[in-house]
Structure 1
């Protein structure tokens, strides 16, 4: 069995469940909201690449290195993807990443609640020591959102990855540790209650 197991997670503003090939049509439509695949600083599948991306993530899940989720809005419609990735079961660490959501739900409580549910599950159920979040050094919106969760910058991995256009990505690495989680939890609960 893969660790972490893909258990469904639900809240008032969003829900997460194991990604499925049946999600491809809705996700192909969601990614068109903002033409997200055209963003230069990240890798998001184009509409015609959605089936292949779902297959890739599910293969990584079968290998135990990723737990991919479909992000659902309050109507139960898939509006994006997220994952536990870079899974380290021995050291009880995961990264929350490979996340994208349709433009219409960006900067809403949906995204905050998804991160809250994944963090809560990681720390309270999976007993993780730390959870990482990573983004392109120049993706300032993503960096502000990660910092807004309460994550701390661990550092920049310089010349970390080659992007599809040939450019080199410097990766900003953030984390939340188990001792920090109670404070971060209270902070996120207050944001979700407002």
Structure 2
């Protein structure tokens, strides 16, 4: 195990619409239930673990945390129910860059303030406590829902990595790379807080 560093040090991030806690094996059963909500693993362009693979996925993420390349979180909704998972990944502590990714959210929590709250908490911690110079987001070129969500944050498209990854079903993924820089953060923070504060249609 590598020496602890600020990028992987345990921290709980809390807001009105969501709470992010360090991923724990104690969350296994609740994460299985969350993964079953909407059967998200059946979406071919994502990599959401099915319920019977949750334990292995927790172990994988915790191993990457111990290696210093990932900081995994369990996501809770405003009612304290486990809603999914998210991470700081591809941590580059020397250049002070991270990617927010490996994120999935139970279907019944989607299209709510939860995702925006999570991103606000993660971005604020990255820029204000970890002193990051940039934060990345990556997604499948054909995952239009994810791309719209990233663009609503205010992230800019840096480019598309063609035939970047092989998906579990054997298809090749074109990866869209987005980022927010430290210089952009104050405006993005205001934008995200406005999104959370504005009235939501039913």
TM-score by length of 1: 0.98
Spell out the pairing of 1:9-88 with structure 2 (5 A cutoff): 9-88=13-92
In the alignment, the residues of structure 1 paired with residue 177 and residue 82 of structure 2 have an alpha-carbon distance, to the nearest angstrom, of 27
Is contact 1:9–1:17 with CA below 8 Å preserved after alignment?
yes
The number of aligned residues is 194
In the alignment, the residues of structure 2 paired with residue 80 and residue 161 of structure 1 have an alpha-carbon distance, to the nearest angstrom, of 23
Is contact 1:17–1:70 with CA below 8 Å preserved after alignment?
yes
Is contact 1:136–1:171 with CA below 8 Å preserved after alignment?
yes
Counterpart of 1:103? 107
Q: How many Å apart are 1:6 and its aligned residue?
A: 2.9
- 2:156 equivalent among 149, 152, 158: 152
Q: SS of the counterpart of 2:36?
A: coil
- 2:171 equivalent among 167, 183, 188: 167
Counterpart of 1:142? 146
- Tell me which moved more, 63-72 or 73-82: 73-82
In the alignment, the residues of structure 2 paired with residue 175 and residue 83 of structure 1 have an alpha-carbon distance, to the nearest angstrom, of 15
For the aligned residues, what is the CA RMSD?
A: 0.7
**Deviation digits for residues 37-60 of structure 1, max 9, x if unmatched?**
111001110000000000000000
Q: How many Å apart are 1:78 and its aligned residue?
A: 1.3
In the alignment, the residues of structure 2 paired with residue 187 and residue 131 of structure 1 have an alpha-carbon distance, to the nearest angstrom, of 16
Give yes or no for the alignment of 1:118 onto 2:112.
Answer: no
In the alignment, the residues of structure 1 paired with residue 161 and residue 187 of structure 2 have an alpha-carbon distance, to the nearest angstrom, of 27
Is contact 1:66–1:83 with CA below 8 Å preserved after alignment?
yes
User: Please, which runs of 5 or more residues in structure 2 have no aligned partner?
Assistant: none
- 1:183 equivalent among 184, 187, 199: 187
